[in-house]
Structure 1
Amino acid sequence: MKLVRDTWLIFQRQTLLLVRQPVWLIVGVFQPVMYLLLFAPLLKPALAPLGADTDAEMYRIFIPGLLVLLAIFGGLFQGFGLIAELRAGIIERSRVTPVSRFALLLGRSLRDVVSLLVQAVIITVLALLLGLRVQLGHLLLAYLLLALIALMTATVSYGVALVVKSEDALAPLMNTVAQPVLLLSGILLPLAFAPSWLQRVADWNPFSWAVDGARALFAGDIGDPSVWQGLTIIGVITVLAVIWAARAFARSVR
């Protein structure tokens, strides 16, 4: 199938570029590691009312939120690289190639998903060394949720980058979106601590559902409704985001 072949070719090229400059992988994982090492130890007393009276329980609450944070921010700022390619004429030269326009987007986005999952594995391994306990099957399902989030945010970032075509416009726009998403998703602290009105507002944030689902998986409660609710909501939004970004990409390289 041409789309699959073209996507694989673009994915290989983008991955090779990432491997040649692994500093971006290191930079991407640095901040979450700092949160893990310097912020997580402060949470045990704060999370005690939720039953997190051991290191394992504390990390089961904190690590899923941290990984969702990594997926959101790791994807939202991928558009900067695309703007650089626009300025260098790389996207312009793509017009004369027979490669599928959708593959140009999907190959890049899948590279971002793989990069995110590598970083997530690093964070998880460090957390396991610090006391986290989680079942492998539940962890893999949580990684699927993270992959969907990374695919969604990366494609949205690429689509917006093609519209604004400027780092000066993209940076404040992404920060404006990311800030309320962070505060209304219970990433660092569960929203159980929040007043009821804030919890109601957070119900409209799809990433809040994703965090709840990821925490249920880390806690070993795969039957919790938040798991399938989070996967369904994020899955639907991801499909819509990919379709929108693909159309923006097709118009830009037509």
Structure 2
Amino acid sequence: MKLARDTWLIFQRQFLLLIRNPIWIFVGVFQPVMYLLLFAPLLKPALNAPTQAEAYRIFVPGLLVLLAIFGGLFQGFGLIAELRAGVIERSRVTPVSRLALLLGRSLRDVVSLIAQAIIITLLALAFGLTVFIGDLLLAYLMLALIALMTSAVSYGIALRVKSEDALAPLMNTIAQPVLLLSGILLPLTFAPSWLRHVADWNPFSWAVDGTRALFAGDLGNDRVWQGLTIVAVLTAAAVWWAAREFARSVR
């Protein structure tokens, strides 16, 4: 109960800071919207899709996973600002759970991501995308786990490096191969076999495939449950590691 109460208190404070400056939600969604409006129309001939709606059914799930990955990986910059302002230092004299310090912030990031994902989905529906609500909710669960994982990793690394100058190139170095090996923009079925084998070691490629299967209404596809399982295990590991970093920093 104490962990839940402390997490709720941290979440409330972080969410209040977010809604006081909601421009960040729209800044985060701006780039995906540009991909949706300016890149997705090129996919029907490129993918030889029978309809534009089918092209969106392939592209939008990857775009949402992209939003979850990048939205989470760069949350550590805000934590570094809090470190510099002494917010984390002052947490040492409070009885708040150290795990709650992480979970409250990461859950704020998950809520922000889901809000952005809903905006993207509604825009895609206007372009002819169709998806069953149950499959969509399960896809959002996949996105929430990815956002929780990546934000936890970002916070843990931020506590280690304590510098935006070090965090920015490190996050970009992580994000680039993740992006290229996950089939986010184009399915990896178009890739040579060696690249597909390498991508099998990227957990986000499983998440992308699972999310695409959900948007296609293929709930029984093995990739759905394999992707959810892999992402859930990695999320638990990321939260455990980041919580330890918070515990070390707030002793």
Report the counterpart of residue 202 of structure 2 in structure 1: 205
User: In the TM superposition, what is the alpha-carbon distance from 1:23 to its structure 2 partner?
Assistant: 1.2
Report the counterpart of residue 102 of structure 1 in structure 2: 99
User: In the TM superposition, what is the alpha-carbon distance from 1:122 to its structure 2 partner?
Assistant: 0.1
- Whether 2:34 is the aligned partner of 1:37: answer no
Report the counterpart of residue 182 of structure 2 in structure 1: 185
The 1-side partners of 2:217 and 2:128 are apart by 16
Letter in structure 2 aligned against 1:6:
D
Report the counterpart of residue 23 of structure 2 in structure 1: 23
SS in 2 for 1:223: coil
The 2-side partners of 1:232 and 1:26 are apart by 31
The 1-side partners of 2:203 and 2:30 are apart by 26
SS in 2 for 1:53: coil
The 2-side partners of 1:131 and 1:70 are apart by 21
SS in 2 for 1:207: helix
The 2-side partners of 1:20 and 1:206 are apart by 35
Which whole-Å deviations, capped at 9, do the CAs of 1:73-124 have from their partners, x for residues lacking one?
0000000000000000000000001111110100000000000000000000
SS in 1 for 2:131: coil
Q: How many residues align?
A: 251
Q: TM-score under structure 2 normalisation?
A: 1.00
Q: What aligned pairs does 1:223-242 form with structure 2 within 5 A after superposition?
A: 223-242=220-239
Report the counterpart of residue 176 of structure 1 in structure 2: 173
Correspondent of 2:154 among 149, 154, 157: 157
Correspondent of 1:167 among 155, 161, 164: 164
The 1-side partners of 2:73 and 2:17 are apart by 19
Letter in structure 2 aligned against 1:39:
F
Report the counterpart of residue 11 of structure 1 in structure 2: 11
The 1-side partners of 2:12 and 2:47 are apart by 43
Structure 1, unaligned runs of 5 or more: none
The 2-side partners of 1:79 and 1:186 are apart by 25
Letter in structure 1 aligned against 2:17:
L
User: In the TM superposition, what is the alpha-carbon distance from 1:47 to its structure 2 partner?
Assistant: 1.0
User: In the TM superposition, what is the alpha-carbon distance from 1:55 to its structure 2 partner?
Assistant: 1.7
- Whether 2:83 is the aligned partner of 1:86: answer yes
SS in 1 for 2:130: coil
The 2-side partners of 1:23 and 1:253 are apart by 30
The 2-side partners of 1:90 and 1:10 are apart by 12
Structure 2, unaligned runs of 5 or more: none
Tell me the C-alpha RMSD between the 2 structures.
Answer: 0.4
The 2-side partners of 1:188 and 1:64 are apart by 9
Runs of 4+ in 1 over 3 A off after TM superposition: none
Letter in structure 2 aligned against 1:60:
R
SS in 1 for 2:184: coil
The 1-side partners of 2:191 and 2:182 are apart by 11
SS in 1 for 2:218: coil
User: In the TM superposition, what is the alpha-carbon distance from 1:141 to its structure 2 partner?
Assistant: 0.2
